[in-house]
Amino acid sequence: MRLRAPLAIMGLVAAGLAAVPAHAERLIVSVSNHRVTVTPNYSGGELVLFGSVERDDKTPPNRGNYDLVVTVAGPRADMVTRRKERRFGIWINTDSRQFLQVPGYLALFSNRPFDQIASPDVQRRQQLGLNNVLLMQRVGPDYADVVPNDPFRSAFVRLRSEHGLYREATSAVTFLTPTLFRTGIPLPAEVPIGTYNVEIKLFSDGALVTKTDSAFEIVKIGFEQFVATTARQNGLVYGLVTAFMALMTGWMASIVFRKD
């Protein structure tokens, strides 16, 4: 008893640090770059996330086959998905569904298919896979997510995936040693700027063992970003400058190409 009490306290402290009680593993992760600067000619790139599973003496010795799921979620925004239908012989937007505060970028990586990592129930609860991630919608007066095969939801996920903004890769996480892992986070040219949250979940035998968070930031720098910010914040000044620029260009042309 005397020996156990301090151990229990230490265990609690450790559990508090790892934010998941009663488990002894700890995840130590880092992304290769916490601040990604995107220049105008950026055509896509990749971040690397690596980390290790720290075991201590409370870890059941026979536990070894770990599974890892990494979820990267970009800045959130409201989006509308519209569906075209044929009316009066032409195709027009008729029905629409609003997605509330959904991530602009969403990537899910794991070391093997989600079906093999956990049961469908756990997959749903832990939001493993694009089909299980919560995408809040405004459905009439209600706010809810819908079944994965809902036409608007699947169209939304498909369109985002076509731009490389939503992705799912069940072989992207590689274990270099039984406890050391890495994964690449591809960032396409159109990545939205803002803060990206990375959530790393460790599973063993179909159950969540522990999880941890990390984050990185994407900032656009350079003249283009300055233009975009000005356009949004100082519309009048921006309009005046653009109009003036147009007049100057026209005037220059009339001088350069003056025939008489």
Partner 1 sequence: MQLYLPIADIPVNVFLVLAMGAAVGFVSGMFGIGGGFLMTPLLIFVGIAPAVAVASVASHIAASSFSGAISYWRRRAIDPLLAAVLLVGGTIGTALGVWTFTFLRSLGQLDLMIALSYVILLTTVGGLMFWEGLRAMLRARGGRAVTLRKPGSHGWIHGLPLKLRFKRSKIYLSVIPVVVVGLVIGFIGAVMGIGGGFILVPLMIYVLRVPTSTVIGTSMVLTLVTMVFATMLHAVTNHLVDAVLALILMIGGVTGAQFGARAGQKIRGEHLRLLLGLLVLAVGIRFAVELVIRPQDLYSIRETGGAPP
Binding residues for partner 1 (CB under 8 A) = 40-43, 75-86, 89-93, 96, 98, 100-101, 104, 152, 155-156, 158-160, 189-190, 192, 194-195, 224-225, 227-229, 231-232, 235-236, 238-243, 245-247, 249-254, 257-258, 260
Q: What single letter denotes the amino acid at residue 74?
A: G
CB of 69 to partner 1, least distance (A): 26
Contacts of residues 148-155 at CB distance under 8 Å and 24 or more positions apart, as own/partner, are: 151/83, 152/81, 152/83, 152/97, 155/81, 155/83
Q: Which is nearer to partner 1, 93 or 116 (CB)?
A: 93
Q: Which residue has the tokens 């270099």?
A: 176
Q: Report the alpha-carbon distance of residue 42 to residue 191 in Å, rounded.
A: 10
In the beta sheet, which residues pair with residue 111?
A: none
CA distance 194 to 192: 7
Nearest approach in angstroms of CB 162 to partner 1 is 9
C-beta closer to partner 1: residue 11 or 192: 192
Q: Which is nearer to partner 1, 104 or 184 (CB)?
A: 104
Comparing CA positions, the residue from 138, 133, 147, 143 lying closest to residue 74 is: 133
Q: Between residues 149 and 254, which has the closer beta carbon with respect to partner 1?
A: 254
Shortest Å distance, C-beta 177 to partner 1: 39
For residue 59, what is the DSSP state? S
Please state the closest distance from residue 21 (CB atom) to partner 1, in A.
33
- Say which residue the tokens 């896509």 belong to: 44
- Sign of dihedral through CA atoms 102, 158, 93, 144? negative
Give the residue with the Cβ less far from partner 1, 66 or 166: 166
What is the nearest approach in angstroms of partner 1 to the Cβ of residue 86?
8
- To partner 1, the closest distance from the beta carbon of 113 in angstroms equals 27
Nearer to partner 1, 156 or 203 (CB): 156
